[in-house]
């Protein structure tokens, strides 16, 4: 029988919160290995809150009922109306109960609160199949590359995704997508 543990998702604000985020980011880095982030992620960990700092960004930290940090996700600015959801990670012992989805939903909520119109992310479809399926269920769809990932090995497939938050459509730049082409017209 699977017992769901209650989780609290809060904005990282204290030095203890940032230390917990550093630990989770380091675990994420170890889990990914040197395939993708290596030096850039190490620099990001050292500079926290760095690109996730308020007022344009946010770090969300999940704690279990015992107060232990078990998950993290960040929102950082990308350009005028778009942010990136980055570093979604849940410790193995906390997986399987929907915490990753809860973190992603809170990150999307935070993006709206911060005034962003789109949420961008990158994922590794070959190794993060569960995350990819979750992103698709949340309404993300593939988009053109929006970052230079030339530091990533050529044999690693990167997938770029976008979620349209559906706000302020009239102020979008001409030619930008405003609906998910995979679900448009469906009921």
Query: Which strands sit side by side in the sheet containing 141-142, from one edge to the other?
Result: 7-11, 58-64, 69-79, 82-90, 118-123, 159-164, 141-142
Report the pLDDT value the prediction gives residue 124, as an integer from 0 to 100: 82
Using CA atoms, how far apart are residues 85 and 139, in angstroms rounded to an integer? 14
- Domains identified in the chain and CATH numbers: 7-171 (3.40.630.30)
Per-residue confidence at 38, pLDDT binned at 50, 70, 90? Answer: low
Q: Which residue has the higher pLDDT, 181 or 63?
A: 63
**Residue 18 CB-density burial (10 A; 0-12 exposed, 13-18 middle, 19+ buried):** middle
Using CA atoms, how far apart are residues 44 and 59, in angstroms rounded to an integer? 13
Segment 68-77 shows an average pLDDT of 97
Report the pLDDT value the prediction gives residue 44, as an integer from 0 to 100: 84
Report the pLDDT value the prediction gives residue 81, as an integer from 0 to 100: 93
Segment 8-23 shows an average pLDDT of 96
- Give the lowest-confidence range in 17-26, 120-129, 169-178: 169-178
Report the pLDDT value the prediction gives residue 172, as an integer from 0 to 100: 34
Per-residue confidence at 171, pLDDT binned at 50, 70, 90? Answer: very low
Segment 169-183 shows an average pLDDT of 36
Mean pLDDT computed over every residue of the chain:
82
Q: What is the pLDDT of residues 82-140, one digit of tens each?
A: 999 999 999 999 999 999 999 999 999 999 999 999 999 988 877 788 899 999 999 99
Report the pLDDT value the prediction gives residue 10, as an integer from 0 to 100: 97
In the chain, % of residues over pLDDT 70: 77
The alpha carbon dihedral of 9, 12, 18, 24 has a sign of positive
Per-residue confidence at 45, pLDDT binned at 50, 70, 90? Answer: confident
């Amino acid at each position: 029988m699977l017992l769901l543990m209650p989780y609290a998702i809060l904005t990282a604000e204290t030095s203890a919160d940032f230390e917990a985020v550093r630990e989770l980011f380091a675990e994420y880095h170890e889990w990914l290995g040197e395939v993708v982030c290596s030096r850039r992620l190490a620099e990001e960990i050292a500079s926290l809150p760095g690109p996730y700092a308020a007022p344009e960004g946010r770090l969300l930290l999940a704690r279990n009922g015992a107060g232990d940090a078990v998950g993290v996700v960040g929102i950082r600015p990308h350009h005028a109306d778009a942010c990136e959801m980055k570093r979604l990670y849940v410790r193995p012992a906390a997986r399987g109960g929907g915490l990753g989805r809860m973190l992603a939903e809170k990150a999307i909520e935070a993006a709206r609160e911060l005034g962003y119109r789109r949420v961008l992310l990158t994922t590794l479809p070959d190794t993060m199949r569960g995350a990819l399926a979750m992103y698709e269920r949340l309404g993300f769809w593939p988009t053109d590359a929006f970052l230079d990932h030339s530091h990533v090995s050529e044999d690693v497939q990167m997938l770029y995704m976008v979620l349209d938050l559906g706000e302020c459509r009239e102020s979008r730049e001409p030619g930008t997508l405003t609906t998910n082409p995979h679900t448009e017209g469906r009921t």
